[in-house]
Structure 1
């Protein structure tokens, strides 16, 4: 799932952009410091997910869209672009999803997070010092 806690309302990677071709040009209010921190956390996590999952053939994140009640498949670069645009403009623009994506090539945010946690736990377990501590989620660092 997309990092829902950091988006205001039902913003998805496919929301309308502002401007004459896409609706009213009213700029959204700027993100709060808490929202900005959340989006920055999401960007950092996304980079970890991509680093770990892209070599396995995973192409990106699947997003449950509350507006159309469908899943959207968002590749790594587009998701990163959307999060950066959210930081810069307070909203994301409309983007064309991939044509006929293979759902097996995309994972949910929760799956990617669990995968990253598992990799971190294995690395910690295999640490030569023999220290065993609790696993840390990327957001806890």
Structure 2
């Protein structure tokens, strides 16, 4: 095997195909399904504000990858179906300000949910008022 073979994943058997990854465990599948559901919430909340997707730190190349909403969803679905994601072409010259981290998106969604919960009308109290507003 040459360094060329090694660089492009040849195992020396004459076949260019790598063995398939092991299937995801039930816990891993549940985690990916949770991520897909969260991603949809993030997109619903953030896309109207101009956010184009998620920024991901890549452990393979030590760089940030800017992944749009649709590609991130496709990656997660491919992970469910095949047990791995393929390599995808990053966007050309992305503006880092158009992408947020998963943690930022999660915090934003939590903040929106907390605000909605605080504004939810409670029995005996009209919306937008506090119990202390009823005191003389």
Q: Which runs of 4+ in 1 moved over 2 A?
A: none
Residue in structure 2 matching 1:55, options 45, 48, 53? 48
In the TM superposition, residue 118 of structure 1 has moved relative to its aligned partner by: 0.0
In the TM superposition, residue 25 of structure 1 has moved relative to its aligned partner by: 3.0
Secondary structure, counterpart of 2:61 in structure 1:
coil
In the TM superposition, residue 129 of structure 1 has moved relative to its aligned partner by: 1.2
Q: 2 CA distance for matches of 1:28 and 1:116?
A: 33
Q: 1 CA distance for matches of 2:62 and 2:87?
A: 17
The aligned runs of 1:91-106 (5 Å cut-off) are: 91-106=84-99
Query: Alpha carbon RMSD of aligned pairs, Å?
Result: 1.8
In the TM superposition, residue 24 of structure 1 has moved relative to its aligned partner by: 3.1
Partner of 1:117 in structure 2? 110
Secondary structure, counterpart of 1:26 in structure 2:
coil
TM-score by length of 1: 0.75
TM-score by length of 2: 0.78
1:85 aligns with 2:85: no
Q: Deviations over 1:56-98 (max 9, x none)?
A: 0000000001111110000000000000000000000111010
Structure showing greater relative contact order (alpha-carbon pairs closer than 8 Å, 6 or more residues apart): 1
Q: 1 CA distance for matches of 2:37 and 2:77?
A: 11
How many pairs were matched up?
Answer: 111
> Which has a greater percent of helix?
2
Q: 1 CA distance for matches of 2:46 and 2:99?
A: 10
The answer for unaligned runs of 5 or more in structure 2 is: 1-7, 9-15, 126-136
